[in-house]
Amino acid sequence: MSDIATRVKKIIVDKLGVDEAEVTTEASFTNDLGADSLDTVELIMEFEKEFNISIPDEQAETITTVGQAVAYLEEHAK
Amino acid sequence: MLFVFVRRIYHLTIYRQNMQLKRVVVTGIGALTPLGNNLEDYWNGLINGVSGANMITLFDASKFKTKFACELKNFEATDYLDRKESRKIDRFAQIAIIASDQAVLDAKIDKATINPDRVGVIFGSGIGGLITFQNEVIDFAKGDGTPRFNPYFIPKMILDIAAGQISMRHGFRGPNFAVVSACASSTNAIIDAFDYIRIGKADIVVTGGSEAVVSQAGVGGFNAMKALSERNDGFETASRPYDKDRDGFVMGEGAGVLILEDLDHALARGAHIYCEIAGGGATADAHHITAPHPEGLGAKNVMLSALKDAGMKPEDIDYINTHGTSTPLGDGAELKAITHVFGEHAYKLNISSTKSMTGHCLGAAGVIEAIACIQSIVHGIIPPTINHFTDDPELDPQLNFTFNKAQHRPVNAALSNTFGFGGHNAAVIVKKYVA
């Protein structure tokens, strides 16, 4: 697992209070990990803070699974 | 047409006149206070004259004029709430939820047999989520001006969220709102809850209040007003209402909850009854933003109005739990009002300020002190005004301030006074329940 994936997973476990095992690549924040709309916004903000980037809203809306988050951050993180 | 209209008004008038106000009783209590995190520990602390003051642990107060407060002891929200949930809830609402859980459990409300549409939550706080507000703004100010506010900032901070959270936790779908009148908030909440039930708009109301502002903004703000005691070298004796050397109030934090219930509803389900709510009053000083009226005008009127509402005479009251915050001005004005309203009887009743032990829990003070009144009826013990060292020659020495040690006395009825910045006054009278 990449360094980015590990950091993403850690944030998700912390913010959503879920088990590490549940945070699979395919897991959807809302359908599988119990996040509501505010949780999703908070997750994106935490990713921005952790990786020191700014994710535009229209991009943020397309990030709905763990895998999508990792892929986006691997591409954009500095 | 006119006839129909007049007839309607007539019927409405007759209906109003015939409308029997319901009796309202207390069937459950919850408390998180600087003296203990449940009713029993709170009451034991009160009757044993324990000081709830401590050096501030919730933030680094080394640069503050006041470095102590009455904090909750051994309190971890995650002992009671799921970690993920508690993160999204300000401390003031966390303790509101925990105290209401205690009260609902104590009242043995069986959710299968009550109508949740007729269970309300009317809840007070003086300030709401100040700690959340402060921390979010600090974070924002650290940045370059790009707004990065947490999506939970507003729903954590808003003062009504405590009432909302309590309703969600228990599925209570009746009247639901917050009451704000600074340090009178939770007394006003109790009176509103009492009114909602007695006019038939709810069977049960979860009421009370909470406050948690022991923070840089809270202590710094009250320090700037010169409202807080600065007795850092003797913090345990700093809250000393009616003592000659009192120098301001000691900030407390906490939450208290009462389950108020329509008497018939309580009897029908065989609920334990602590006491009856006899009456309440609310007035304004219309004088100054923070200073009390020098003659205690609003305080006098609020006690008279509570007595009238309860249909009681001054002689019916055995104990007054005063607002008595330990400030030079406030303590004297309230006593003037008491001697004016109660006349000769003022010297026969017990007076005490339990803020000498709990500190001033601001918006939660009213309910926390109403609970002290209820327990005085249940146990026949008056909790003391501790930290009395020197008589104040300005205050009437014939009054029984219950100094330093609890006193045994049968209590049939007790009155609790609370006054808030803005000139708000609220008083509630509780009495022994007699079938």
Closest-approach residue (CA) in chain B for A46: B150
- Listed residue (B203, B151, B413) closest to B306, CA to CA: B413
Please, is B259 exposed, middle or buried when counting C-beta atoms within 10 Å of its C-beta (0-12, 13-18, 19+)? Answer: buried
- Listed residue (B168, B169, B165, B176) closest to B204, CA to CA: B176
Closest-approach residue (CA) in chain A for B150: A42
List the single residue in A16, A38, A49 with the smallest CB-CB distance to B152: A38
Q: At A20, which CATH number?
A: 1.10.1200.10
Chain A residues within 8 A of B87 when measuring between CB atoms? 15, 17
- CA quadruple B197, B199, B200, B204: dihedral, nearest 10: 0
Q: How many CB pairs under 8 A join A and B?
A: 21
Beta carbons of B151 and A45 less than 8 Å apart: yes
A41 at B interface, C-beta within 8 A: yes
List the single residue in A17, A42, A48 with the smallest CB-CB distance to B152: A42
Beta carbons of B151 and A17 less than 8 Å apart: no
Q: How far apart are CA B129 and CA A26, in angstroms?
A: 37
A22 at B interface, C-beta within 8 A: no
Q: How far apart are CA B360 and CA B421, in angstroms?
A: 13
Chain B residues within 8 A of A15 when measuring between CB atoms? 84, 87
Chain A residues within 8 A of B145 when measuring between CB atoms? none
Beta carbons of B148 and A48 less than 8 Å apart: yes
Chain A residues within 8 A of B148 when measuring between CB atoms? 45, 48-49
Question: Which residue range(s) make up the domain with A10?
Answer: 3-76
A46 at B interface, C-beta within 8 A: no
Closest-approach residue (CA) in chain A for B84: A17
Reported ipTM: the value is 0.80
Beta carbons of A42 and B148 less than 8 Å apart: no
What total of structural domains would you count in chain A?
1
pLDDT given at position B2? 57
Confidence at A1, pLDDT banded by 50, 70, 90? low
| pLDDT per residue rounded down to tens, chain B (435 residues) | 555 556 665 555 555 555 789 999 999 999 999 999 999 999 999 999 999 999 999 999 999 999 999 999 999 999 999 988 899 999 999 999 999 999 999 999 999 999 999 999 999 999 999 999 999 999 999 999 988 899 999 999 999 999 999 999 999 999 999 999 999 999 999 999 999 999 999 999 999 999 999 999 999 999 999 999 999 999 999 999 999 999 999 999 999 999 999 999 999 999 999 999 999 999 999 999 998 898 889 999 999 999 999 999 999 999 999 999 999 989 999 999 999 999 999 999 999 999 999 999 999 999 999 999 999 999 999 999 999 999 999 999 999 999 999 999 999 999 999 999 999 999 999 999 999
Instruction: Read off the pLDDT of residues B348-389 as tens digits, 9 standing for 90 and up.
Output: 999 999 999 999 999 999 999 999 999 999 999 999 999 999
Closest-approach residue (CA) in chain B for A14: B84
Q: Are B197 and B22 in contact (CB under 8 A)?
A: yes
Helices B216-224 and B130-142, interaxial angle, to 10°? 100
